[in-house]
Structure 1
Amino acid sequence: MADPLRIDRYDDRVVATLDRPAVRNAIDQATIDALHALCAELEETPRTLILTGAGGVFASGADIAQLRERRAADARAGINTHAFRRVRELPMPVIAAIDGYALGGGAELAYAADIRIATSSIQIGNPETGLGILAAAGATWRLPQIVGEARAAELLLTGRILGAEEALEWGLVSAVHPADELLAAAGAIADRIAANDPLATRSTKRALLAPPDAHPRIELELQAELFESPEKVRRMTAFLERRKKK
């Protein structure tokens, strides 16, 4: 059986492509297992992750054939929830490069990313209530963080699907690119991340993920660590020397 997640590894990043074209990259148990394995790798050796989908689709949702057979115990197990939260909590940034459908669980996987970019053909949203369930793999807490409570409530309670213009206007994605430039655009973001100090990047992400009551204490502790870093001294010295030469 083909791997549902095609992975390309580089020194400073990993590109993971959802690859189940026959079912529009629907997220099944094998995909979840592959995401857990990838997260374990990136927790051990942190690198930026670019998530995308094959065949002009990000992910059309959870695999409905599997979802239909799940019962209360499966819901409480949080099969997709734990995998997506693990993606969200990776040490280095996660970029979702979204083409075409990102629906239901596919949308929730995209919400787990730190940065989302898309093509003009994006169709993103959560139609779960129309299937007799709720969006329980992150949308009810992550979407309000991204677009605000009022807009999140409208999307989740109506099941409305957003196209590129509204997704950009609402801040659900930060940029829209032609389909043939999407991965290059994601790569350019990864390049900018790679040019920065990895420890400072990881610290910034930790601060971004921290709960409200952790601020400003967490920033001060993380900054204290960075102030003692030789890389901080090296980078600031190089900056001052460049400025002298101007």
Structure 2
Amino acid sequence: MNRLSKATVVTLDRPERLNALNPQMLEELLDAFAAIGSDTHAVVLTGSGRLFSAGVDLDTPFFMEHVDDDSVYSGKRLLDHQHKVIEAIYDMSIPTLAAVNGHACGGGGLGLAMACDLRFAVAGSRLWMVPGALDVVQDFGLSWLVQRVAGPSRALHMAMTGYRLPVEEGLTWGVVNEVHPDLKAMEAAVQAFADNVSSMSRDSAQMLKTIVRLGNSSSLHEQLQVEAIANGLAFQSDEFKTKKKLYLDTLGGKK
């Protein structure tokens, strides 16, 4: 892990294996996310080398053929453990951003990116699932995560056909938030995102993320109520009072 403004950057660092997940990387990711401190306002997840992640490493005990467990439930036990990393990312109270530096595929690779709140990508990268090729069901939460941004029809199409979604098209689907021409441009955009989030108090950033998440399932009346409660708190903060003055000054007006 390293720092970027008040953001923590977590890097998938097995470039020789295209950042494919193995048992050691899983534990390191879980430890890294658990260690995120109260001074961190956002988390950036990215990959090293030319890919974001090739998914699960099929030559390790992460894959069923290499698991020494005769129980009919061995596959479920294995995935229950692997899926902890998806919940660890998705359940973070602070904003999370996947900086997709190259292809992201399979449950393990694309799942990590989709578990984040936002996705910035380098042009030419592709996103895809593999269950149709392996005659299995999609895992790592993609059956839930993708359809919430792209719709159930597109999610099913990706899962059944293995369609390699160009990030440029993913931008129109809502799967990707920003596409940048090269790695340097994406890194500059990630820096700008980190600076923006870092300019907010951690409390307000957490509340904003919570409120937006609630809007996916609440009624309008319920959403208006939680917005009023949250802003009722925010209006009393010193951070709001300072930001209000600065904002009005930029508009050329003072109150």
TM-score w.r.t. length of structure 2 = 0.84
Aligned counterpart, 2:115: 112
Aligned counterpart, 1:223: 231
Aligned counterpart, 1:87: 89
Corresponding letter in the other structure for 1:101:
H
Aligned counterpart, 1:23: 17
1:34 equivalent among 8, 21, 28: 28
Whether 2:118 is the aligned partner of 1:122: answer no
Gaps of 5+ in 2: none
Count of residue pairs brought into register by the alignment: 240
CA contact (8 A) 1:87 1:113 kept: yes
Q: Which whole-Å CA distance do the structure 1 matches of 2:100 and 2:5 have between them?
A: 23
Q: 1:180 to 1:103 in 2, by over 3 A?
A: same
Aligned counterpart, 1:168: 171
> What does 1:130-169 correspond to in 2, within 5 Å?
130-169=133-172
Gaps of 5+ in 1: 1-6
Q: Which whole-Å CA distance do the structure 1 matches of 2:249 and 2:183 have between them?
A: 41
1:234 equivalent among 242, 251, 254: 242
Tell me how far 1:8 sits from its aligned partner: 1.2
Whether 2:203 is the aligned partner of 1:199: answer yes
Aligned counterpart, 2:104: 102
CA contact (8 A) 1:99 1:121 kept: no
Q: Which whole-Å CA distance do the structure 2 matches of 1:30 and 1:222 have between them?
A: 40
**Corresponding residue SS for 2:116:** coil
Aligned counterpart, 2:76: 75
Q: Which has the higher contact order (CA 8 A, sep 6+)?
A: 2
Tell me how far 1:183 sits from its aligned partner: 1.8
Tell me how far 1:44 sits from its aligned partner: 4.5
Tell me how far 1:212 sits from its aligned partner: 0.9
Aligned counterpart, 1:186: 190
CA contact (8 A) 2:15 2:50 kept: no
Q: Which whole-Å CA distance do the structure 2 matches of 1:43 and 1:88 have between them?
A: 17
Q: CA-to-partner distance for each residue in 1:73-113, whole Å, 9 max, x for gaps? A: 34245223221121112122111111222001100100011
CA contact (8 A) 2:5 2:198 kept: no
Q: 1:203 to 1:49 in 2, by over 3 A?
A: same
CA contact (8 A) 1:43 1:90 kept: no
Aligned counterpart, 2:253: 244
Aligned counterpart, 1:12: 6
Aligned Cα root-mean-square deviation (Å): 2.3
Aligned counterpart, 2:217: 212
TM-score w.r.t. length of structure 1 = 0.87
Q: Which whole-Å CA distance do the structure 2 matches of 1:33 and 1:174 have between them?
A: 28
Whether 2:54 is the aligned partner of 1:51: answer no
Aligned counterpart, 1:3: none
